Structure 1
Amino acid sequence: MKRNQAANVMTACVWAAAAMLLFPGPGRAGGFRTPAADPGAQENARSLATALLRSDVAKYLSGPGRSVLEMIGSDEPRNESLKAGHELWSGDAAPLGPSTVRVNDPGQDGYAASDITTQSETAVAAFGPNVIVVYNDSGQFETQSFEGYGRSTDGGATFTDMGAVPVIFPTAANYGDPAIVASRRGEFFVAAIAYNSTLLGSQFTISVQKSTDRGLTWGAPVYTPQYASGSFADKDFIAVDNTAGPSSGNLYVTWTNFAPPYNELPIVVSRSTNGGASFSAPIRISAFGSSNEGPEPAVGPNGEIYVAWFQYQGVGGAGIVMAKSTDGGATFGPPQFVTPVTPIGFGTGNLAGNFRANSFPRIDVSPVNGEVYMVFAGNPPGPDGADVFFIRSTDGGATWSAPARVNDDTGATDQWFPDLAVNGEGKIRVFWYDRRRHSDKPGDLLIDLYGTSSVDGGLTFSPNQRISHPRSGSDAGMIPAVGYDPYINPIYMGDYNDIKVDTTPTGPGLGFYSAWGDFTRIVRTDGGTRTDQDVVFARQDLTPALARGGPAGTSAPELATGDPNPKGPRTTINFVVGEAAAGPVEIGIYDVAGRLVSRLASPALSPGRHELAWDGRGEGGESVRPGMYFVRALQADRPVVCSTRILYMR
């Protein structure tokens, strides 16, 4: 049997084993009891869970949210059928990429024999050499916390699996959907869906816990107040103001609120102005009567707060909505419908492999100029089921660019779960799950992780690069890992991954820190052979070569604008043509709105250093205004190969 044939057979067999594992239903592995102080509180929580799961809005619940409610609604004993012990065998189907590190320790999955081994929904934050990755961890169920975390003190070179973020209170529980940020003081704040029968009664909200020793220990949970009676808080995110302004240090927590009579799903925000010691009563920022999910906050360089989310039903239809605050989160302006989106998965169908996905937006703000950027997955017209799109606002969210596709494949394969981050120089990094390498095999379910970068505010992006398993063969990749864990919804494989830049004492740093769900490891348990959900981490510093998508001078022209910068009335654009990039080169000059100002063309060029002159005039011969301009090098077979920026002065 040929190598490729053998690999394909292995892929098919492993997936078949995973797909045939029957989800045992709520509570079969033992109903996850609420840590109630009295039977009445526990019964109230069970009634809330049952009513919500029977409602029409249950399809919009996050994976952890639905799983928790299903387990709380069970009457079966918690540990009735669990079998302690590790898997019978495990191994990696392909090596992890260089500088890619597994965060969780599979050896700590004490109930792997019962297939309770899910780690997913990653969130990452870094300060100095300290990196913390939090994630959903079903193996920590005995601690009343679904929130595991790994800690690194060497910049992410190695990680220690620290177990669960402790809930501290015996009447409390953490139910996942983790989010984490680091402040300029080096404090880490982690948020999650929470329950405390003593403090909260039968209701659920969001907990925030603080670490002042770089994740070695965590303080007691501080709870956001409920938004409405009988609420279930879902899909939380958290942001911290790391500016030097009057709101510096403020924390902002967002979530979707599920409450009777379940005829709408509002987005709400709660803030802390005292370092997480307490949180304000949440305020609603979405339109009345609308149904929404997946809100994420981000803070701009002047302390302005943006919250973006996905609207399923409301004015404008399905799409991305945003609200903004300019007074430190005390109030928000009216919600703004940003762009329509045809959603993928999450109530509208699942991707191949029977796992669900979503079109929740991810948002970040440039600390350099305040531009606002979002990425999201959407279903474009035609046979392509899911692509990743980017939008930008250069006027504080008042107007937005048309969605631009980020993935540069030419097939109709799926791309989903994108995230982005902007570093202290304004450079952008985006990554997502991708199936392009397997487009010639319609039945192939293999998944990779791809990424791209922009150094011009999202006007252009570098050629996409494979991040996961970059040194592996054409048949290497990740096989969907769903349907095996009795504590997890059978079509759940996480709802998001995460990328952030490091935090420094003065604000955003330069390095990009990524964490994602990885399905490389294959395990064998009493239930059969399957892939497993783990968490991996990688750090990337956006060097010029990475921004261009390849080694300098090998496959694309290399722009070097020269000195001085600012430029005078006559500007010389210097660039280098590599061995593999010989041929005509076109230099485009663009203004900050992305409009073409001038085009400089060259004849066919040999490898080496070249220059083109620009006289400061536009396409019509008019003199351009002084200001910031972007320079892009283009070739016929490469729409955009590199870019830089110049400050033009007369």
Structure 2
Amino acid sequence: MRLLRSLAAAMGAAAVAALALATGPAAAASAGSTQLSGMTPFTDCPPDSTQYTLNSETEPFVAANPADPDNLAVIWQQDRHAWGSSRGIVISVSEDGGRTWERKPLPGFSPCADTIGRVTNPHIVFGPDGTLHASVTMIGDRASVWTTSSQDGGTTWGTPVALADDTREVIHDKQAVTVDPRDPDRLYAVWNRRTMAEDKHDLLLATSDDGGATWESPRSVYRPATTAGTVGAQVLVQRDGSLLCVFFESDHPIGGVATPPLPEQIRAIRSTDGGRTWSGPVTVADITLNVPRFPGTSNQFMAPGIVPDVALDPITGTVYAVWGDAGLSASGSAVGMSASYDGGRTWTTPRKVNATPDSEAGGTGQAFLPQVDVHRNGTVAVTYYDFRGSTPGAGTVTDHWMLTCRGWTCPLNGRNWSERRLAGPMTGLEGVSMSFGAPFVGTYVGLSHDDESFLSAYVAPTGTPEDPQNVQLATTPAVPRLP
């Protein structure tokens, strides 16, 4: 098969070496942050079109090795296309706790060696044994989902494995891989598949029992009753071994929009038998999708809340979910949160959790692109961007924030949360990569933790057209401050 031959060719050491960037101290960015990206490593690769932004990075994801606290990894899309996806995937790895980093194309997914189309949705996760698993969606002559694994913390990688490989009559979107924390050989991958002829969507699950070397054929574990699709699905393995999958469900943004508009919901399904059977959907929240705008204008910033994020408290078993929501603030773009104390069966009333002062619709009170994580000590962190620093006539100012809290009452009120600025004030957001007709840094960013800190991988605008944005990593002590 040409697809597999192209991937095998891309694994050649010469191609990777030609694109690898040297190891060394990373440049300091905002206070407490480290810049991980730079100029594209794909300068000498053949252009696949003219509709991409050179030196742009989007949708970073971060992971820390539980078997080696000095081993960190951040992955992102490189050179974003105007109508979705990117030219290639880049990963940056540290073996010394973030003091130095090596960044290089993820083998098998660079435009210099691959002829199989564009790539998107980079995702990484470490297993409890230290194996690093990466997954990617490809769009081109065919639509496919791939995983690849590294046994040495991200330095070298195995041959990519296809979880799904279809014609362009099928669209795959937003895959995520979860490793069972009790069994490093047990992996779960979930994503949305749309069959264009039927205009139907399925939430697919694929499982592996050999650490990702082989996968069972993907199968549908949930199909919406309407033409709605699922986006941003993630699986959590709970303390009793049961599985919880949380996702956004509504009109699907890839491949067309249903008419009339469908309800917008955060939903969850559960499995108590390792993914063989699943419950019916539970509605976590009925939401109104946020559409951020640059303050004082009608110009959209492409950061809708279609990708919820979830996290599990390892001490109490509480599950947290966050998303972007237009209905929780007058500004029209807030961070919604709900939590479950019973494994995903029931959920708390959704509430605005971001500390951004509210404003009129489309004003400086807008917050967007939230992530949530829970440290092993029970501290909960929520990150987001907002526009609170902007003033009329002076252009858009963006800040990146983190809220922290500890205790079972965190989801119920805002009194126990404390906020700190991770980055900002930043200018130049209007000049970042264009995608889907508006400036775009992604539908998610990254948030994880190591032994002592939270790790926030985010996109920072530069205000420089030749290098409009960069991935940065903020390291923050995983101890809640007093409100």
The normalised TM-score by structure 1 is 0.60
Aligned partner letter, 1:299: V
Identify which of 95, 110, 116 aligns with 2:43. 110
CA distance in 2, matches of 1:233, 1:324: 22
Change in CA separation of 1:108 and 1:194 when aligned onto 2, cut-off 3 Å? closer
Cα distance in 1 for partners of 2:347, 2:474 equals 31
Partner of 1:456: 407
Amino acid at match of 1:258: R
Unaligned runs of 5+ in 1: 1-34, 39-94, 197-201, 470-475, 503-508, 526-530, 550-640, 642-650
Match of 1:238 in 2: 177
In structure 1, the residue matched to 2:101 is: 159
Matched, 1:497 2:445: yes
CA distance in 1, matches of 2:298, 2:429: 9
Cα distance between partner residues in 1 of 2:298 and 2:372: 24
Distance (whole Å) between structure 2 residues aligned to residue 225 and residue 484 of structure 1: 29
8 Å Cα contact 2:59-2:443 kept in structure 1: yes
Q: Which residue of structure 2 lines up, in the alignment, with residue 87 of structure 1?
A: none
- Tell me the CA shift for residue 463 of structure 1: 2.7
Q: CA deviation at 1:534?
A: 1.0
Which string of whole-angstrom CA distances, capped at 9 and with x for unpartnered residues, describes residues 187-240 of structure 1?
1000110369xxxxx531210010011111111111113589932211112211
Residue 124 (structure 2) pairs with residue 191 (structure 1): no
Q: Secondary structure at the match of 1:477?
A: strand
Question: Which residue of 2 is the match for residue 505 of structure 1?
Answer: none
Residue deviations 1:250-306 (CA, integer Å, cap 9, x gap): 211111212122533332221111100112222322433233322222222232222
Q: Counterparts in 2 of 1:521-532, with a 5 A limit?
A: 521-525=462-466, 532=468
Q: Distance in 2 between matches of 1:409 and 1:37?
A: 48
Per-residue deviation, 1:384: 1.0
Structure 2 equivalent of residue 318 of structure 1 = 264
Q: Which of residues 351, 357, 376 in structure 2 aligns to 1:424?
A: 376
> Structure 1 residues 408 and 223, CA, compared in 2 at 3 Å: closer, same or farther?
same
Instruction: Give yes or no for contact 1:414–1:434 (8 Å, CA) kept in 2.
Output: yes
Q: 1:214 aligns with which of 131, 153, 172?
A: 153
Hey, what does 1:538 align to over in structure 2? 474
Identity %: 21
Q: Deviations over 1:158-195 (max 9, x none)?
A: 32222343349856456121000001111100011036
Task: Judge conservation of contact 2:146–2:164 (CA < 8 Å) in 1.
Answer: no
What is aligned with 1:445? 396
Higher helix share: 1
Shift of 1:344: 1.4
Q: Which has the larger radius of gyration?
A: 1
User: Measured at CA, do residues 133 and 286 of structure 1 come closer, stay the same or move farther in structure 2, by a change above 3 Å?
Assistant: same
- Quick check: which one's strand share is greater? 2
Cα offsets for 1:560-593 (capped at 9, x unmatched): xxxxxxxxxxxxxxxxxxxxxxxxxxxxxxxxxx
Decide whether aligned partners of structure 1 residues 265 and 240 sit closer, same or farther in structure 2, where only a CA change above 3 A counts: same
What SS does the aligned partner of 2:200 have? coil
- Measured in 2, the distance between the counterparts of 1:272 and 1:215 equals 20
Contact 1:511 1:541 (8 Å CA) reproduced: yes
The alignment status of 1:334 with 2:280, answered yes or no, reads yes
Measured against aligned partners, the alpha-carbon deviations of 1:315-355 in whole angstroms (never above 9, x if no partner) come to 99211011112222222211212210000139xxxx96533
Q: How far apart, CA to CA, are the structure 2 residues paired with 1:512 and 1:381?
A: 27
Q: What SS does structure 1 have at the residue aligned with 2:427? A: coil
Q: Residues 204 and 435 (structure 1 numbering): CA distance in 2 closer, same or farther, change over 3 Å?
A: same
Residue 414 of structure 1 aligns with an amino acid whose one-letter code is Q
Q: 1:638 corresponds to which residue?
A: none
Unaligned ranges ≥5, structure 2 = 6-27, 252-257, 360-364
Which position in structure 1 is the counterpart of 2:22? none
In structure 2, what is the equivalent of residue 281 of structure 1?
Answer: 217
Kept in 2: contact 1:316–1:340 (CA 8 A): no
Mapped contact 1:298–1:365 kept (Cα < 8 A) = yes
Q: Residues 300-315 of structure 1: matches in 2 within 5 Å?
A: 300-313=238-251
Question: Are positions 1:480 and 2:429 aligned together?
Answer: yes
CA deviations on 1:374-404 (whole Å, 9 max, x unpaired) are 0111002663120112111001111110112
Q: In the aligned structure 2, how far is the partner of 1:376 from the partner of 1:425?
A: 24
Partner amino acid for 1:387? A
Instruction: Answer yes or no: is 1:297 the counterpart of 2:241.
Output: no
- Does the alignment pair 1:400 with 2:342? no
Query: Equivalent of 1:178, from 116, 122, 143?
Result: 122
- 2:386 is matched with 434
Residue deviations 1:113-157, cap 9 Å, x none? 9851111101111112111100001289xxx96111111111123
Per the TM alignment, residue 36 of structure 1 is displaced from its structure 2 partner at its CA by 6.5
Contact 2:128 2:184 in 1 (8 A): no
Q: 1:138, 1:146 within 8 Å by CA — same for their partners in 2? A: yes
Match status 1:204 vs 2:143: yes
In the alignment, what sits opposite 1:548? 481
SS in 1 for 2:37: coil
Provide the secondary structure at the position in 1 that maps to 2:428.
coil
Match of 2:20? none
Secondary structure in structure 1 of the residue aligned to 2:418: coil
- 2:368 aligns to what SS in structure 1? strand
How many residues are treated as equivalent by the alignment? Answer: 423
Q: Secondary structure at the match of 2:172?
A: strand
Task: Give the Cα separation in 1 of the matches to 2:87 and 2:426.
Answer: 31
AA at the equivalent of 2:402? G
2:122/2:136 contact within 8 Å kept = yes
Equivalent residues of 1:119, 1:535 under 8 A apart:
yes
Structure 1 36/423 Cα, relative in aligned 2: closer, same or farther at 3 Å?
closer
Q: Which amino acid aligns with 1:131?
A: L
Paired residue secondary structure (2:246): strand
List structure 1 segments (4+ residues) > 6 angstroms apart after TM superposition.
Answer: 35-38, 111-114
> 1:410: how far off?
2.5
Q: Which residue of structure 2 aligns with residue 415 of structure 1? A: 367
Contact 2:244–2:343 (CA<8 Å) still a contact in 1?
no
Superposed CA deviations along residues 73-116 of structure 1, whole A, max 9, x for unmatched, are xxxxxxxxxxxxxxxxxxxxxx8333311111327463799851
What is the alpha-carbon distance in structure 2 between the residues aligned to residue 37 and residue 184 of structure 1?
A: 29
List aligned pairs for 1:540-619, cutoff 5 A. 540-543=476-479, 547-549=480-482
Amino acid at match of 1:125: A
Counterparts of 1:423 and 1:295, CA distance in 2: 21
Paired with 2:168 and 2:150, the residues of 1 have a C-alpha distance of 30
Aligned to 1:466: 421
Rounded to whole Å, the distance in 2 between the matches of 1:182 and 1:213 is 11
Give the whole-Å Cα distance in 1 for the aligned partners of 2:355 and 2:442: 24
